[in-house]
């Protein structure tokens, strides 16, 4: 089961760091680290992840021995976050921007950072979800692009979302790859959209069975396996 044992920190630098320490020391599959506040939260691509104390779900899970299914963990986690948000806030609809940003109303509500030591048989799945953050609490530069469940009109608490998310993660992470891919594709925010990245641009055409993004460009079709794509708004 994902969520046990659980360690909660009122304040820590990064739940991913704590979870990686626990994993390296042998913590079992499913070990959960949560925090009320992070002093050095990390995002993908070397970015920082910030959230006002107590208003976001900040969590990391130790995952072990997922075998070949491990390549779909980031996508599976994004599906689970969408399902949990919609379970606690039925008026909210979530979409996923490749590979694993969760969007509400085309703004980012949650991000996922997977780090791992596959050779030692473990990975850490970090999730940051803006739950109760008011629209005015986001830093100026994120006003147009970030959102939260509260900003989308939902009144769920961090604990409500966590309670919905743990069983959703249990179902999706390491679950049937076809079901994960089907659920991900049904929420694909980039499908048919113009996108650009370092080195090219084109029209997004969905994901391969290993989760790579397929893009039609002027010079043919490419598959992107990592990195960042931007929606051309
Ligand atoms: C991203 O979209 O850039 C990924 C953001 C991941 C943030 C979460 S918050 C909990 C966990 N601890 C971290 O330092 N990062 C992840």
Choose which residue among 11, 13, 16 to substitute to test ligand 1 binding: the one with the highest number of ligand atoms within 8 A of its C-beta: 16
**pLDDT over 80 (residue 69):** no
Residues contacting ligand 1 via CB (< 6 Å) = 14-16, 38, 41-44, 47, 49, 58-60, 101, 111-113, 126-128
Give percent of the chain with pLDDT exceeding 70: 100
The pair of three-digit structure tokens given for residue 3, joined into one six-digit string: 């969520």
79 CA from centroid of ligand 1 (Å): 16
Report the SS3 class of residue 90: coil
Q: Say what the pLDDT of residue 68 is.
A: 72
Name the β-bridge partners of 115.
124
Q: What value does the mean pLDDT of the chain take? A: 95
pLDDT at 227: 81
Instruction: List pLDDT tens digits, range 152-211.
Output: 999 999 999 999 999 999 999 989 999 999 999 999 999 999 999 998 999 999 999 999
Helices (H), 150-226: 158-172, 177-185
At 4-56, the pLDDT tens digits run 999 999 999 999 999 999 999 999 999 999 999 999 999 999 999 999 999 99
CA 47 / ligand 1 centre spacing (Å): 9
Determine the pLDDT at residue 95.
Answer: 98
Atom of ligand 1 nearest to the CA of 45: 3
What pLDDT shows up at residue 84? Answer: 98
* pLDDT at residue 119, as a whole number: 74
Which CB contacts under 8 angstroms, 24+ apart, belong to 4-7?
4/30, 4/31, 4/32, 5/31, 5/32, 6/31, 6/32, 6/33, 6/34, 7/31, 7/32, 7/33, 7/34
- Tell me if 209 sits within 8 A of 181, measured CB to CB: yes
Q: Whose CA is nearest to atom 10 of ligand 1?
A: 58
Q: How confident is the model at residue 82 (pLDDT cuts 50, 70, 90)?
A: very high
Residue of 113, 125, 130, 230 to test ligand 1 pocket, by largest number of atoms within 8 Å of CB:
113
Collapsing DSSP to helix, strand or coil, 32 comes out as strand
Half-sphere exposure of 161 (CA within 13 A, CB side): 30
């Amino acid at each position: 089961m994902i969520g046990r044992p659980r360690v909660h920190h009122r304040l820590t630098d990064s739940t991913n760091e704590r979870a990686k320490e626990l994993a390296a020391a042998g913590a079992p599959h499913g070990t959960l680290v949560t925090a009320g506040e992070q002093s050095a939260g990390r995002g993908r691509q070397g970015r920082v992840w910030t959230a006002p104390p107590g208003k976001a779900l900040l969590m990391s899970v130790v995952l072990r021995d997922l075998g070949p299914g491990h390549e779909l963990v980031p996508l599976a986690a994004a599906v689970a976050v969408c399902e949990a948000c919609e379970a606690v806030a039925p008026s909210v609809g979530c979409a996923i921007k490749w590979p694993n940003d969760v969007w509400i109303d085309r703004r980012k509500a949650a991000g996922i950072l997977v780090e791992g030591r596959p050779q030692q048989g473990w990975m850490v799945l970090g999730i940051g979800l803006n739950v109760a953050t008011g629209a005015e609490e986001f830093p100026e530069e994120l006003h147009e692009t970030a959102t939260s469940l509260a900003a989308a009109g939902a009144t769920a608490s961090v604990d409500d979302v966590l309670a919905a998310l743990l069983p959703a993660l249990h179902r999706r992470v390491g679950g049937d790859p076809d079901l994960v891919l089907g659920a991900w594709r049904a929420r694909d925010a980039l499908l048919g959209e113009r996108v650009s990245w370092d080195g090219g641009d084109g029209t997004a055409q969905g994901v391969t069975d290993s989760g790579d993004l397929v893009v039609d460009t002027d010079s043919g079709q490419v598959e992107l396996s990592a990195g960042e794509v931007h929606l051309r708004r």
